[in-house]
Structure 1
Amino acid sequence: MSTTFLFIGAGRMAESMIKGLQSSKDQNISIIAGNQGNTERLQQLFSLYAVETTTDWIHHVRESSVIVLAVPPDAHDAVLEKLSTAIDGQLVISVAAGIGLKKLEDNLPSRTPVAWVMPNTASEAGESMSIYTHAETLDANQEQQLKILLDSIGSSEKCTEEQIHKLTAVTGSAPAFLYEFASALINAASSYGISEGQARKLVSQMIYGSAVMLKSGLSPIDLREAVTTPGGATAAGLEILKEADFGQLIQKAVQATNERAAELGKALKE
């Protein structure tokens, strides 16, 4: 059965998903990319991926199986109002922060199948850790369509809506914390006389290798202990992090992220 994905919004996240879907090599997938009038951006997507593009997406709703809302949170009201006049049982997926299922259900016809997906920027490399939830109104075919989209950009985990609101700080925002850590390590490495390019290679491969070890299923505590000799050099470095209450600092960063996200979500509803 052929599946047509209609993307409303043509930014970086939409491009990541379009790229991922095309990389899946599924011959039964077609893609339409639409926005409100940025023809230059649509031409870029056409040039890169040869997908159909449109600035009049409303007229493509009925021919589409899945509608992906890849627009900012504050654009959802206008898009959903317009979409509600044309939707007829197709799966609607939002990839915007703070939206949730209720927002979609309240603004679309009763029992419209809806899902909320929170990818992260690693989707550009096909390595997203996406968290998602969906309404009970999805049929088996629509669940498969959702899976195709999720698998095309990386790994995924189903959560409750409330968990997504909280965990986006970990899967969505925390990569920025990691990049900040990586930047500090690159600066430290560079201070010992190597080039920035060499330092970046050392640090990026170290992080990648460590992530592979984590994905193997071993606990981070066990992995840490495997690197650390009591009274040794690594232990001395860890002691500095402990004195600075590194673990608590990360907890505070996650909490601050969630508190700010809640403030932004409240402002959006008002």
Structure 2
Amino acid sequence: MTNQKVLFIGAGRMAEAIAAGLIHTNASMNERIVMTNQRDKKRLAELKEKYVVDVTQDWEAEVKNATTIVLAMPPEVHDEVLEKLSKLVTNQFVITVAAGIGPSYLEERLPAHTAVAWIMPNTAATIGESISLYAVGSSLSESHKQALTVILNSIGSSQLCTEDEVRYLTAITGSAPAFVAYFSEALIDSAMNYGVSKELAQKLVVQMMSGSANLIKHAANPSAVRKQVTTPGGATAEGLKVMEQHRFKEMIHRAVDATNSKANGSI
């Protein structure tokens, strides 16, 4: 992102993850990053010390100097910020990482032909392992696409989607890490039921999950891994039978549907 200056409006965990990723891939990038929020001076001081970036509580004064603006505040704050931003942007690239705020939403509230994009990362962005879904508006140039690619690569892998696909697949890529963690907690509890300490149970389950994820990634076929582990009529098959009896897959489908309903305002 040579000669690019990135302004973050919002300084939460996702803003930090993206900024840290950019700096990790380009050590001099810290000189071209400005982090902002309106209320938490302590948070800004921490980011300034940790990453040696510029910080301010007056984001409006920084818009003219930015080439890319990342909206990293809650969805409910977007209307207020976009109203102010619409009077300040010229040819800046505006990206949001907020749930439910797609390119069409941004384009309706910003001047015509403003380049916009929507990125939905997940929590693994904090360690550079996100699978980020993204959708773009209708006015991106090649330089905008290049800037977007740099940002996406700084936090992991990515997949271009339609706006609707991002809206509904975020339950799979964004919320499902919590489902996986909850499943891990249940396995930890099960291990502890056999008398082992929480520390040991957690160590065993975390390594099992990590190894299994890598195995599935290597095989690119979860069904193949399940069949590899499962001997017909064996102990693993008996455990899977209980999961089928309790409609495990149906439960997951219902959890995904509920997540999407809540995210899209149906609940």
TM-score normalised according to structure 2 size: 0.96
- Partners of 2:97 and 2:104 lie apart in 1 by 14
Q: Indicate conservation of the 8 Å contact 2:115/2:140, yes or no.
A: yes
- 1:173-252 → structure 2 map (5 Å cutoff): 173-252=175-254
Using the alignment, how far apart are the partners of 2:133 and 2:257 within structure 1?
Answer: 18
Residue equivalent to 1:2: 3
- 193-202 vs 73-82, which deviates more? 193-202
Deviations 1:28-82 (CA, angstroms, capped at 9, x unpaired) = 5621001123211111111111110011111111111110000000000111011
C-alpha distance in structure 2 between counterparts of 1:90 and 1:242, whole Å: 52
**Secondary structure, counterpart of 2:64 in structure 1:** coil
**Which of 61, 64, 83 is the matching residue for 2:66?**
64
Q: Tell me what 1:115 maps to.
A: 117
- Residues 2 and 28, structure 1, Cα contact 8 Å, conserved in 2: no
SS of the equivalent of 1:61 reads helix
Distance in 2, Cα, partners of 1:86 & 1:256? 38
C-alpha distance in 2 between matches for 1:176 and 1:77: 29
Paired amino acid for 2:18: M
Question: Is 1:15 the counterpart of 2:29 in the alignment?
Answer: no
Q: Distance in 2 between matches of 1:158 and 1:146?
A: 11
Seq. identity, % = 48
Letter in 2 for 1:24: T
Structure 1-normalised TM-score?
0.95
Query: What is the Cα deviation at residue 217 of structure 1?
Result: 4.0
Count of residues paired in the alignment = 265
Tell me by how many angstroms 1:192 deviates: 2.0
* One-letter amino acid of the structure 2 residue matched with residue 243 of structure 1: Q
Residues 174-220 of structure 1, C-alpha deviation per residue, up to 9 Å, x if partnerless?
A: 11111110000011112222221111111111111111122124311
Aligned partner of 1:20: which letter?
G
Q: State the distance in 2 between where 1:228 and 1:133 align.
A: 39
- What is the CA–CA distance in structure 1 between the aligned matches of 2:134 and 2:255, rounded to whole Å? 22
Cα distance in 1 for partners of 2:261, 2:138 equals 29
Question: Counterparts of 2:117 and 2:219 in 1: how far apart (Å)?
Answer: 29
- SS of corresponding position for 1:156: strand
Structure 2: how far apart are the matches of 1:130 and 1:93? 13
* Residue 100 (1) aligns with residue 96 (2): no
Amino acid at match of 2:169: L
Report the Cα distance in structure 2 between the residues aligned to 1:218 and 1:236, rounded to whole angstroms.
25
Give the alignment of 1:26-105 within 5 angstroms: 27=28, 30-105=32-107
For 1:183 and 1:173, the matched residues in 2 are separated by 16
Structure 1: how far apart are the matches of 2:219 and 2:189?
Answer: 31
Match for 1:140: what amino acid? E
Give the 3 Å change call, closer, same or farther, for CA 189–72 of structure 1 in structure 2.
same
> SS at the partner of 1:130?
strand
Cα pair 1:182 1:203 within 8 Å, conserved = yes
Secondary structure of the corresponding residue to residue 35 of structure 2: strand
Q: Could you say what secondary structure the match of 2:149 adopts?
A: helix
DSSP 3-state at the match of 1:27: helix
Q: Could you tell me how far apart the structure 2 residues matched to 1:104 and 1:249 are?
A: 35
Specify the SS of the correspondent of 2:65: coil
Q: Which consecutive residues of structure 2, in runs of 5 or more, have no partner in the other structure?
A: none
